[in-house]
């Protein structure tokens, strides 16, 4: 059981690392965005946690309906 769990976790971590380091069409990656603008990322996280980032603040986003 421990071996299977370790394999699954290792595969997930490997996929995540490949995803954030894969270059986009413009040549940058998610990791390079994080390294270049850490303060912007922290501010977005603070806004998200405080509830400022919602559907009301983004006019392009469609409202969530059930």
pLDDT along the chain (66 residues), means of 10: 95 96 91 89 86 59 58
Question: pTM to 2 decimals?
Answer: 0.55
Domain ranges in the chain are 22-53
Q: What is the dihedral of CA 52, 53, 57, 61, to 10 degrees?
A: -160
What DSSP string runs through the chain? -HHHHHHHHHHHHHHHHHHHHS--TTS--HHHHHHH-HHHHHHHHHHHHHT-SSTTT-TTSPPP--
Residue with tokens 């390294």: 35
Comparing CA positions, the residue from 58, 39, 23, 47 lying closest to residue 31 is: 23
């Amino acid at each position: 059981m421990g071996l299977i769990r370790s394999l699954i976790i290792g595969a997930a971590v490997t996929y995540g690392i490949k995803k954030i380091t894969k270059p986009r069409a413009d040549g940058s990656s998610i990791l390079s965005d994080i390294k270049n603008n850490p303060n912007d990322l922290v501010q977005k996280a603070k806004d998200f946690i405080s509830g400022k980032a919602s559907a009301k603040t983004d006019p392009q986003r469609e409202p969530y309906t059930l």
